[in-house]
Amino acid sequence: MFVYLRLLRESFGFALDALRNNKLRTLLSLLGVTIGIFSIIAVLAAVDSLDQKIKKDLSALDKNTMYLTRVPFGPSDVPRWKIDQFQDVSYDEYRLLKESVTGAENLCFQYFTNRETIKYEGETAKDINMVPVTDEFDDIQRLEFDKGRFYNESESNAGARVMVIGHEVAETLFKGADPIGKQVRAYGQKFTIIGVIKKQGAGMFGDSNDTSAFFTSNFLRMKYGDNIKSAFMLPVIIIKPLPDENKDELKGEVIQKLRNIRGVKAGEIDGFFVNVLSGFTDLIDGIVGFLNTVGWIISGFSLLVGGFGIANIMFVSVKERTNLIGIQKSLGAKNKFILFQFLFEAVILSVIGGAIGIFLVWIITLMMTSMLDFEFVLSAFNIFLGSSLAALIGLISGILPAISASRLDPVEAIRTGM
């Protein structure tokens, strides 16, 4: 055991000597490993950060949450021209489904609509994500409030002109003052602020609660009527399943109930889509996996170049120390001792290059997190993975030079060195 510890110490010393005595050559050799490890860990860190952010944004929703509407959220076998002819889901259908669907914990009615401008006295908040929705939305998405509350059932049914705003909207309009009870202007009408949502941070899907405003969907129904079918307003029924409910059974129940409500005959297509959120998250997982694979492929070429660089410096090191190898072997050093000496040196050199790459990733994650409203994460697993990969590259790259060094004949090695 002590022999191997001494061997490790000596190999580390030889590696440092190689760095000191051949700075440019060693730097160029380590550059490949550094870039390779940097590329892999940077990609993994970026993908992990993206994945974590997506899961955080979706954490407020049950993965089995369903969106019932006339358009699909993904690819569909139904032609586009036929989808354009489908009938919008209605508020009355939402009420009938809420009363009859047994597998749902709650349903709410929402419009996907255009972004708007909200004004308060001399202040203006532009490009706000407007969320006209019934009161059950608070239960389905589990909003967290900084101040105030969400509107209740009676306010929702009456289409009351009340509004719940996000953190950034509140800061823009009220500059730190208490918004509760204040009146803002949107859609040419005055709305009373009754709640402010806690700061969420940037969303991965273009919108965040920070830049959103929630108000009763019945306000828009009263303003524009029920028979709305336009590019700027898409009615949606959001369905939250019971905790232990089978999503396929619930989906089948919703489809059958709405077909019965609309009088759709057997053999006719539904004319609507039940989009399940878990299908979207599966798509996201597939994209994340694809990004990881692409990152590994691209970074693999850098690691390959780095491996050749380490092998090159080790072959040069063997040649430069041929005389020393001969002396060591003439004094009784076994082949295994020489082999491990050069293997350890190759691994140490590679690990140094990998450590530099990981350190650069860590610095960049800190800088990006401080500059952007996005948390970049360098996990302990990725640090371990990068270090292990660097050690593996060093081991593979150093095996041939180490074998060649261990097989040198001591007499020939001393003579060659002279």
Over the chain (418 residues), the average pLDDT of each successive run of 10 is 66 64 70 79 78 65 79 81 87 92 91 92 90 92 89 94 94 91 93 91 63 93 72 86 84 90 86 77 70 74 75 76 73 73 79 86 84 75 83 84 77 64
Domain assignment present for 45: yes
Q: Identify the pLDDT of residue 16.
A: 66
Q: Identify the pLDDT of residue 345.
A: 77
**Statement to judge: residues 227 and 321 lie in one domain:** no
Domain assignment present for 27: yes
Domain assignment present for 278: no
Nearest to 33 by CA among 346, 302, 360: 302
**CB-CB contact of 193 with 163 (8 Å):** yes
Angle CA 5–10–16, to nearest 5 = 130
**CB-CB contact of 357 with 396 (8 Å):** no
Q: Can you give the pTM of this predicted structure?
A: 0.61
Give the integer Cα–Cα distance in Å for 335 and 3: 14
408 phi/psi in degrees, rounded to 5: -65, 140
Domain assignment present for 82: no
**Statement to judge: residues 108 and 175 lie in one domain:** yes
Domain assignment present for 83: no
Give the integer Cα–Cα distance in Å for 313 and 28: 10
Give the integer Cα–Cα distance in Å for 135 and 304: 58
**Statement to judge: residues 144 and 43 lie in one domain:** no
**Statement to judge: residues 49 and 97 lie in one domain:** no
Q: Identify the pLDDT of residue 144.
A: 87
Angle CA 131–64–252, to nearest 5 = 105
Domain that holds residue 303: 2-57+283-417
**CB-CB contact of 390 with 69 (8 Å):** no
Last residue of a domain, one of 224, 242, 260: 242
One-letter amino acid of 38: F
Q: Identify the pLDDT of residue 62.
A: 56
Give the integer Cα–Cα distance in Å for 79 and 62: 30
